[in-house]
Structure 1
Amino acid sequence: MSTAPIVVHRAVGPGGRRVTIRTQIAGLARSDADLVEFLRRAGLPDAWDLLDDPRWVKWQGGRSHEYDAAG
């Protein structure tokens, strides 16, 4: 089980991916820029450096950095 404080949930259709930060819903990300903005608002100014760090971010379902559901 991951203990990463940031979870980027599985994409559902073309709408994007829900993001939670410490179990609180931060919003719906449609791009890495959206995700970084949520993290910046949560007090993480160096968020770009965290996106690929599994200690910080857990990507659920699908590939990292892809925001539309396949098929």
Structure 2
Amino acid sequence: MSAPIVVHSPRGSGSRRGTVRGQIVRPAHDDAALLEFLRRATLPDAEGLLDDLSWVLWRGSRTHHYEAA
């Protein structure tokens, strides 16, 4: 089973697109914005999930990093 939340590779704009259970959420420029989008996607305890690899897959860059390489 794959993680239900995917944070995709950083974009040139300094943001990362996310998907929750296959549904795209708005790009986030930092963890606070990502957490807000996850809460709106009915994940009220999202803050504790960002570092849980069974819940969140960070692609293309290190965890919590939003700037493009």
Q: TM-score, normalised by structure 2?
A: 0.93
> Counterpart of 2:17?
18
What SS does the aligned partner of 1:36 have?
helix
Residue correspondences, number: 69
1:1-71 to structure 2, matched below 5 A, reads: 3-70=2-69
The one-letter amino acid paired with 1:34 is A
1:36-56 deviations in whole A, cap 9, x for unaligned?
001100111111100000111
Q: CA deviation at 1:64?
A: 0.6
Give the Cα–Cα distance (whole angstroms) in 2 for the partners of residues 30 and 7 of structure 1: 15
Identity among equivalent pairs (%): 59
* Residue segments in structure 2 that go unaligned for 5+ positions in a row: none
Counting strand residues as a fraction of each chain, which structure ranks higher? Answer: 2
Q: Which has the higher helix share?
A: 1
Q: Give the TM-score normalised by the residue count of structure 1.
A: 0.90
RMSD: 1.1
